[in-house]
Amino acid sequence: MSTDDIDAKAREQVAAEERRMRSRRSTSLRDAFAEFLRHPSPWMIAAFLAISLAARIWLGGWGIADLLVPVVMIAVFPLAEWLIHVFVLHWRPKRLGPISIDPLVARKHREHHADPRDIPLVFIPWQVLVGVVAAAVVVGLIVFTSAERGLTFMMTLAAIGLVYEWTHYLIHSDYRPRHSYYRRLWRNHRFHHYRNEHYWFAVTTAGTADRLLRTYPDPESVEKSSTAKDLHALSRTAD
């Protein structure tokens, strides 16, 4: 099959996915939010946010650092999101002697790529989230110079986490894009799932880190990957 044929098939697959979405009954934002609340990770992150926010308000002692910490975290999040997606979620299983190194979050992400329409697989696994929250508490209370600033870090991280979970979930739901910015997020993430998994790693921003790290090509120039739904072709290796 020629490169032109492969590219044509890739365009057809993305277009077909968009047609299928348009043909399905569109979910309202209210219904999408109701479904969002049926899964554990939003509640876990929201509880972490509420507890850290309440503790931060109770301690008081606000300063300029309480503004700088969120600004810096929000500014670097697109890069952090890219790095996590590439090196953690797309982790290729490795063997160290008799031991297989294959974290749960990477296994679940491969399942997510195999079936992007399976909504429970869209969310951060609760087991992973427990570890993330524990690590955030350790960083907040040990790395930062004061409990106040540590709590600001924790509540900002929780808020960012909620935004990520909601955005990623909404992209995979039946909610139709109605605004240009969200439409760009929606299309980019679908290119990642249905055209080539080696590009378009950003989820909550439209091509920020991807542009910086050269994973935001013109979709017309990218060949369709045969492993977008079978990361690292592991199922073929197993066969």
- Say yes or no to pLDDT of 157 above 60: yes
First to last CA, the chain: 24
Separation of alpha carbons 69 and 5, rounded Å: 49
Q: Where are the domains of the chain?
A: 28-238
Predicted TM-score (pTM) of the model is: 0.87
pLDDT at 98: 87
Largest distance between two CA atoms of the chain: 66
Residue 24 has pLDDT above 60, yes or no: no
For residues 22 and 55, the model is more confident at 55
Q: Indicate the DSSP class of residue 233.
A: G
pLDDT at residue 183, rounded to an integer: 94
Least confident of 14-18, 30-34, 130-134, 167-171: 14-18
Neighbours of 46 (CB within 10 A): 16
Does pLDDT of 6 surpass 70? no
Q: What percent of the chain has pLDDT over 70?
A: 88
